[in-house]
């Protein structure tokens, strides 16, 4: 059976999915038609239900729970790995501050809305273009994610706030960033099979870290090997193998907070597979 699979070209996703899409593990008769796009593009595709399995932001997941369920495997949660708000100089965030964001439905934007609900002057950029938007003065500040948290200081930018730290202090919870979801209307047997395969793919990647290196590198553009490795270590961990009770609690906390501040409506659907 061939099913569609969407994930980002970022090192953590390439590391996670390498084994299952390149035949390094038993995929139990499933084959995958792969689409690689930045996470906000994948969020938009999820809103239309275009993919059978996809990576998406947890913020975006809140809007598609009728279409998708969250797998136990493949998610990006962690500590000390949240989005950063950066600028050319240390400055106070005000209601008029113009901020570049990596997408309206990213978890990063949700955390920004939680910390600074008065900020509405936001412009969407591809995540990799945000540093340059700040440096060129197109915006006052930028919300950076992924590997840019390792490069902003080299470019002369300064951190205004670590929104991951803000979240962890506020909730005493790990940060849920992105997850892997599967279409609700697929047969239960297929959904459980997909969950097993993703888990095996992550476990294979951990057991054979060099195996995915060429695939990761091919999609990492100009990123150095050191930054690639830091990226993987930051976003792929035990929660990526299995959410467990703590991971699920963190995700439910995120949605509860989002409902409290009116960012999303109440969710009636069961979130997890």
Residues designated as active site: 146
Question: What does the alpha-carbon distance between residue 263 and residue 245 come to, in Å, rounded to a whole number?
Answer: 25
Per DSSP (E only), the strands in the chain are 2-7, 31-36, 53-57, 68-70, 76-78, 84-87, 99-101, 122-124, 141-144, 158-162, 175-183
Place of tokens 């976003």: 235
180 neighbors 197 (Cβ within 8 angstroms): no
| Residue 62: partners with Cβ closer than 8 Å, 6 or more residues away | 255, 258, 264, 267
- Residues 75, 60: Cα–Cα separation, whole Å: 14
Residue 66 to residue 169: CA distance in whole angstroms = 31
Q: Distance between CA atoms of 126 and 54, rounded to whole angstroms?
A: 19
Cβ-contact 212, 18 below 8 angstroms: yes
Spatial distance between the Cα atoms of 237 and 202, rounded to a whole number of angstroms: 9
How many CB atoms within 10 Å of residue 211?
A: 16
E-state strands within 163-269: 175-183
């Amino acid at each position: 059976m061939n099913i569609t699979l969407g994930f980002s070209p970022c090192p953590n996703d390439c590391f996670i999915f390498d084994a299952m899409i390149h035949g390094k593990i038993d995929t139990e008769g499933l084959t995958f038609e792969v689409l690689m796009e930045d996470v906000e593009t994948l969020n938009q595709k999820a809103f239309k239900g275009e993919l059978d399995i996809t990576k998406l932001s947890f913020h975006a997941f809140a809007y598609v729970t009728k279409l998708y369920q969250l797998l136990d495997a493949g998610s990006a949660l962690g500590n000390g790995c949240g989005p950063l708000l950066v600028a050319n100089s240390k400055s106070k965030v005000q209601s008029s501050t113009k901020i570049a964001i990596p997408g309206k439905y990213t978890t990063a934007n949700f955390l920004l809305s939680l910390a600074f609900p008065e900020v509405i002057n936001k412009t969407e950029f591809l995540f990799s273009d945000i540093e340059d938007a700040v440096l060129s003065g197109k915006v006052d500040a930028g919300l950076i994610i992924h590997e840019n948290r390792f490069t902003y200081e080299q470019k002369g930018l300064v951190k205004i706030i670590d929104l991951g730290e803000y979240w962890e202090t506020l909730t005493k919870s790990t940060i849920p960033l992105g997850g892997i979801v599967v279409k609700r209307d697929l047969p239960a047997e297929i959904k459980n099979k997909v969950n097993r395969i993703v888990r095996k793919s992550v476990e294979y990647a951990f057991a054979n870290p060099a195996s995915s290196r060429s695939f990761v590198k091919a999609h990492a553009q100009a990123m150095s090997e050191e930054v690639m490795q830091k990226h993987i270590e930051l976003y792929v961990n035990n929660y990526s193998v299995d959410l467990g009770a703590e991971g699920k609690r963190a995700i439910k906390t995120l949605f509860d907070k989002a409902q409290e501040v009116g960012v999303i409506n109440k969710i009636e659907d069961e979130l997890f597979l």
